[in-house]
Amino acid sequence: MSAANGRETPIDILGAHETDAEEILTLQLLAYRSEAEFYDDWTIPPLTETIEQMRMDIDRQTVLKACAHGRIVGSVRARQSGDRCMIGRLIVHPEWQRRGIGSRLLREIESCFPETARFELFTGERSESTIRLYVRMGYRVTRREAQTPKVGLVFLEKETV
């Protein structure tokens, strides 16, 4: 909330550009730090992604950013593959969580792919609040698998037809 007037701070959801890569990567490192601590595994892909990889993702995928007060406070990316859309790296700055930004980003990225038959995404198996968010947004768990000896993943999907 804005301290000046007690009203909600407006959040703008916009397409990301290559010039946003550094700010999004910095946010991603911050957002996934708690996951790394939780799993005691600092090798998870969001923490090892390079700025070059981030720029390539922005160039090759649909990447959205949530902005407040001129800074990026959230992001998500997705790509179409056949009849499905793969959604990844939904992040919200820790200080901005629990304000509906993640839900808005998820709805917006889904709206970018109106012709897809289904959306797919995954998260850490112990990320209970994230799993609850996805289930609340219409996703269902389809499978679980180990990513590393310490990290298990939960895969979810949402049919659109």
pLDDT of residue 15: 97
Query: Helices 101-111 & 128-136, crossing angle to 10 degrees?
Result: 50
Dihedral pair phi/psi, residue 38, rounded to 5°: -60, -45
**Tokens matching residue 63:** 């990447």
Q: List CB contacts of 39: < 8 A, sequence separation 6 or more.
A: 124, 126, 150, 151
What's the sign of the alpha-carbon dihedral 57, 107, 25, 84? negative
pLDDT of residue 4: 39
- pTM to 2 decimals? 0.90
Asked whether residue 133 carries a pLDDT value surpassing 80, the answer given is yes
Query: Are 35 and 125 in contact, with CB atoms under 8 Å apart?
Result: no
What's the sign of the alpha-carbon dihedral 30, 109, 117, 56? negative
Q: Where in the chain are the domains?
A: 12-117
Q: List CB contacts of 159: < 8 A, sequence separation 6 or more.
A: 117, 118
Q: Say if domain 12-117 classifies as CATH 3.40.630.30.
A: yes
Residues 116-128 have a mean pLDDT of 93
Q: Where are the alpha helices (DSSP H) in 49-141?
A: 51-60, 101-111, 128-136
Residue range 1-53, pLDDT digits in tens: 333 344 577 999 999 999 999 999 999 999 999 888 888 878 888 899 999 99
